Chains A and B, each alone.
Chain A
Amino acid sequence: MASVTPALVLEGVGFAVGKNRRDILVNACMQVMPGEICALVGPSGSGKTTILNMISGLLRPTAGSLTVLGVDVGRARDRELARLRSRRMGIVFQNFHLLPGMTSTENALLPAYFGCAPAGEYRARVRDLLGRLGLAPWLDAAAENLSEGQRQRVAIARALLLRPALVLADEPTGNLDDSSAATILSLLIEGAREEGSSLLLATHDRRCLQVVERTFVVDQGRVVPL
């Protein structure tokens, strides 16, 4: 029986900040399998965003080992991590971080600029994705004129553009009302399922727990399975 390589492995990961090395995470352990839909829950300030940043390689663990899609984040070079993010990961940020002065289409197209093909080649896919997310009338709307829910959809399209193997979403249901939150969650999960991607949601929103396959709790700097 061939063993399946996990999409994500944290083994004793720690993260400390500042001069006096304040511990934000200690000895975090978790594993996500390919195609799995997981949640990382914990109160605000518990360290969920920090974990996602380490997984995407924007931060390096200060202890333990972290392997993402076969890449050792602690050891990999900046270029390698950039390529990992660009080709194999999609990120939905906590505050969307759509760039002002750009349209929905341009924002969702951004990851293509860091790939190895001319960004213009992805224009059709962007429009298709945005259309499927219900944004067809707002393809050329400026990001700053969109509603919260619409911005979140653009962010999801941006994350899914290059068919990533792992999608990270930070507080995807943020300030959304119940029905919008449910829609966003199903869009994310559908998107991930379609591509066979793993999905890791970081959230303090209990509404998310009903739709995921596995949950990890972040508390007091530790990560424990629910």
Chain B
Amino acid sequence: MITRNLLALAVRSLAGRRASSVAPLLSLAMATGTTFVLLSIAWSLHGAGVSGLLSRLPITRMVVTARQVDLLFLRLGTPLSSLDDRSLQSVRAIEGVEAAWPELVLAMPVSLVGDLLGTTFSTDCAVYGVGGDFFPAGNRPPGFVHREPGAAVPVVLSSQLIDLYNSGFAGSQNLPGLSRNALVGRHFTLFLGTSSFVPALPRDRVLSVRCEVVGLSDAVSVTGVTAPEAYAREWHRWFHGESTPVQYSSIHVEAASSSIVDRVRRDIESLGLQISNPRELAEKIALLSKYLSAAIAAIVVLFLVMAGVGTASTLGLEVTHQAERIGVYRALGASQSDVRRIYMARAAVLGLAGATLGLLPAIGLQVVMGNALEALVPIAANLPPSWREFNPALALISLSLGLATCVVAGIAPAHRAARLDPADALRRAGT
């Protein structure tokens, strides 16, 4: 039997059984569409680079803070515990701690006045001080050093500021987005000793400091500006005098090796301090996305199996109903393998039709869903664009999975059709 005749006969038998084809067509369409949407989501999770991020984060680097209380989503610092030089000494004394870099925080009101895109604005902010080696190797912003008196103070801002600005403020204020480098080289003025909360201090209690942004970093706090430690200590002495000890908002700790990280963590926690590891967070996210991918895979498999079982039973029923037709085919010259091929082709035609039927609305749905989500949730604009881009490879994979499901579902019925006793089928149909 030549392929052309085979396909013609398979298509003809599909057309002849329109009503009974509806259910498997729909379930296949559903399964294929769902597969495509879920694969797109899984793919964008993958594209978000969680695993790449994870591998870049150093496991030996930890951030130590004072014990904080988690209240749902809020993290409250308890006033009784703060980090000072004693905490720094104890952390440094722990065996296996190779280095510990404090992040000094100024305990004073500070306000910032600057201009951005032609608008002068002012805001309260915190001021931090860190040493140059606070930044992970290679990420130290150039120019982050103590300069001669009168020169602008070099400061570093959190790179998250750009993201926050772009995703929220710029959109709501109709302002253009900023690139990472847009802030570097800009100047602004810090007024130490005054803020909107404490406006009425005498003039000599306010120090104005001209600053220049020399870089952005993921390591520094998002709530303020970070200057070289020496400046921060100067400002602290100027405001509080010699006797008041400085306070640290966090201490960044580098463990000597990854094998002792766990013990170092326990030792630090036994000091009554809290520890977080950026890698831990990334691991949690990675694990979550792994679970999500597994769940997606499970749902996809479930849908395909359901569609497959439905298709198999429909095809099986069809073989039972078409016993006479099969007997006639055999008597007119179809071999067993011809009959098997006819029913396999029948399954493939059904699968291709169902999968295509499901894929088209799924692709539409992906675009509509993407646009709707971006309209409703502004932060969605910051997601990797892959999550709503049409990916032809994923469409092809979904199509193949739908088709393969149908073909697999067709194996048993096609086998049964081929093994059917034609003489018996004709005799039964005659009576």
Task: For the complex formed, measure the closest distance between the CB of B421 and the CB atoms of chain A, giving whole angstroms.
Answer: 8
A114 x B329 contact (CB < 8 A): yes
Assess A115 versus B8: contact at CB under 8 Å? Given A53-B423, A94-B430, A97-B328.
no
Q: Does B333 contact A (CB under 8 A)?
A: yes
Segment at the A interface, from B89-97, B160-168, B185-193, B334-342:
B334-342
What 1/0 flags go to B201-238 for Cβ under 8 Å of A?
A: 00000000000000000000000000000000000000
Verify B429–A110 contact, CB threshold 8 A. Answer: no
**Are A82 and B333 also in contact (CB < 8 A) when A97-B324, A113-B5 are?**
yes
Enumerate B320-336 residues with CB–CB distance to A below 8 Å. 324-325, 327-336
Verify B328–A114 contact, CB threshold 8 A: no
Q: A58-B422, A97-B328 are in contact. Are A78 and B429 (CB under 8 A)?
A: no
A65 at the interface (CB under 8 A from B): no
CB 8 Å contact bits of A45-61 with B (1 = contact, 0 = none): 00001100100101100
B16 at the interface (CB under 8 A from A): yes
Which of these, B9, B325, B332, B430, contacts A95 with CB under 8 Å? B430
**Pair B328/A78 contact, Cβ less than 8 Å:** no
Bin chain B's interface residue count.
20 to 34
Is A138 located at the chain interface by the 8 A CB criterion?
Answer: no
Q: Which residues of A contact B335 (CB under 8 A)?
A: 78-79, 81-83
Size of the A side of the interface (Cβ < 8 Å), in residues, is: 34
* Structural contact, B325 and A58, CB atoms closer than 8 A: no
Chain B residues with CB below 8 A from A99, complex form = 324-325, 328
In the complex, which residues of chain B have a beta carbon less than 8 angstroms from the beta carbon of A53?
A: 423
Q: Which residues of B contact A114 (CB under 8 A)?
A: 1, 5, 329, 332-334, 338
User: A25 contacts the other chain (Cβ, under 8 Å)?
Assistant: no
> Which residue on chain A has the smallest CB distance to residue B431?
A95
> Scoring A residues 82 to 98 as 1 if CB is less than 8 Å from chain B, else 0, what string do you get?
11011100010111010
Return the chain A residue nearest B328 by Cβ.
A97
Of A59, A82, A116, A158, which is within 8 A of B334 by CB?
Answer: A82
Q: Which of A56, A112, A113, A158 has the most CB of B within 10 A?
A: A113
Chain A residues 111 to 169 lying within 8 A of chain B, measured CB to CB, are 111-119, 158
When the two chains form their complex, are residues B9 and A59 in contact, meaning their CB atoms are under 8 A apart? no
Of the candidates B1, B332, B336, B423, which one forms a contact with A78 in the assembled complex, judged by CB atoms under 8 Å apart?
B336
Cα distance, A58 to B325, chains bound together (Å) = 14
* Least CB distance, A111 to chain B, in whole angstroms: 4
In the complex, which of the residues B8, B327, B328, B338 contacts A119, with contact meaning CB atoms closer than 8 Å? B8
User: How close is A10's CB to chain B, nearest CB, in angstroms?
Assistant: 17
Select from chain A the residue with minimum beta-carbon distance to B1.
A114
Beyond A97-B324, A99-B325, whether A118 also contacts B4 by CB under 8 A is: yes
Report B1-30 CB contacts with A as 1/0, cut-off 8 Å. Answer: 110111011001000100000000000000
**A58, B331: Cβ atoms closer than 8 Å:** yes
Is the pair B2, A116 in contact by a Cβ cutoff of 8 Å? yes
Q: If A58-B330, A82-B330 touch, does A97 touch B426 (CB 8 Å cutoff)? A: yes
Q: Which residues of B contact A79 (CB under 8 A)?
A: 335-337
Query: Residue B429 contacts which of A58, A97, A112, A115 (CB distance < 8 angstroms)?
Result: A97
Query: What are the residues of chain B within 8 A of A78 when measuring CB–CB?
Result: 335-337
Tell me, yes or no, whether B427 is within 8 Å of chain A by CB: yes
Do residues B331 and A56 form an inter-chain contact, with CB atoms below 8 A? yes
- For B5, B329, B427, the residue with the greatest tally of chain A CB atoms inside 10 Å of its CB is B5
- A101 within 8 Å of B by Cβ? yes
What 0/1 pattern do residues 69 to 84 of A give for CB contact below 8 A with B?
0000000001101110
Query: In the assembled complex, which residues on chain A have CB atoms less than 8 Å from the CB atom of B16?
Result: 101-102
User: Are B430 and A97 in contact, with the CB atoms below 8 A?
Assistant: yes
What would 24 A/B residue contacts be, using CB atoms closer than 8 Å? A49-B427, A58-B331, A78-B337, A82-B336, A85-B333, A86-B333, A86-B334, A91-B331, A91-B332, A93-B328, A93-B331, A94-B430, A95-B430, A97-B430, A99-B328, A101-B16, A110-B328, A113-B5, A113-B6, A114-B5, A114-B329, A114-B338, A118-B2, A158-B332
Question: Which residues of A are at the interface with B, using a C-beta cutoff of 8 A?
Answer: 49-50, 53, 56, 58-59, 78-79, 81-83, 85-87, 91, 93-95, 97, 99, 101-102, 106, 110-119, 158
Beyond A78-B336, A99-B324, 15 additional pairs, beta carbon < 8 A: A56-B331, A58-B330, A58-B426, A82-B330, A82-B334, A82-B336, A91-B332, A94-B430, A102-B12, A110-B328, A110-B329, A112-B5, A113-B1, A113-B9, A114-B333
